[in-house]
Amino acid sequence: MSAKTYRWVDEDGKIHYSQSIPPSASQGGHSEINAKQGVVVKQVASQTERKKNLTKKEDKAEKKVKEAALRDELLVHMFSSEEDLKQHFQDRIKMIGTNIRLLQSNKKRMKSDINDLQNKLMKTENESVKQSLISHIRETKHNLLEHTKAIETNQQEQTETRVNMDRSLIKFRRKKAEGTVSELGSLIGSNSDKVFNSRTQECHCPCQTQSK
């Protein structure tokens, strides 16, 4: 087994290559090199860099906690009662359900179209017509697959919306019980519609739904 080679930089900024890292440079970053291939196989950050990365992770975690708390407060600003909150989510669930039924209807029609096209393909002897039918079948099958994916996406979103409704109700009740809302939440309250309604107009539906 070949000895390890390390690349490290001293306090004066001078680059060194050695078989070990001296104690004086142990706090600094270094690279472990495969001497035979001449490539870096491991990069070790300096203690300062590790501290910076740790601080970034801690800041990110703290930011998530604050954002979650703010979203909870926005619930109180947006909805005057539990019924209002439920209605918001139920409207979304209903809209997704309508979209699912439309996709399922289109999917059923496309399956019928594919059967008709395949029957025509079996009966015709005209090569040009055959190629046209094959093309139509291929395109319709592609649309059918896209509809299947869209239905699954909508069904998943519908489930997630129900879960979010239950969670939001729990948070809403807790914030109401606390009886206080922070000034920060009040300032953002005027823009809270954008937070909760940004997904309302989304439609997980394939762009092309017509089969030929």
Element (H, E) at 32: strand 30-34
Domain count, the chain: 2
Residue of higher predicted confidence among 53 and 129: 129
Do 117 and 73 lie in one domain? The reply is yes
Same domain, 125 and 179: yes
Residue among 31, 35, 34, 27 nearest 11 (CA): 27
Residue 161 confidence (pLDDT): 96
- 157 Cβ partners below 8 Å, 6+ apart? 96, 204
Residue 207 scores a pLDDT above 90 = no
pLDDT of residue 156: 97
Sheet holding 5-9, edge to edge: 15-18, 5-9, 30-34, 39-44
Is 144 in contact with 42 (CB distance < 8 Å)?
A: no
What pLDDT, on a 0 to 100 scale, did the predictor assign at position 191? 47
Domain interval for residue 38: 5-44
Residues 29 and 117 in one domain: no
Residue 131 lies in a domain: yes
Same domain, 19 and 109: no
| 36 in the same domain as 112 | no
Residue 181, pLDDT > 50, answer no
The stretch 30-37 carries a mean pLDDT of 74
State pLDDT tens for residues 133-178: 999 999 999 999 999 999 999 999 999 999 999 999 998 888 888 7
Structure tokens at 137: 């079948």
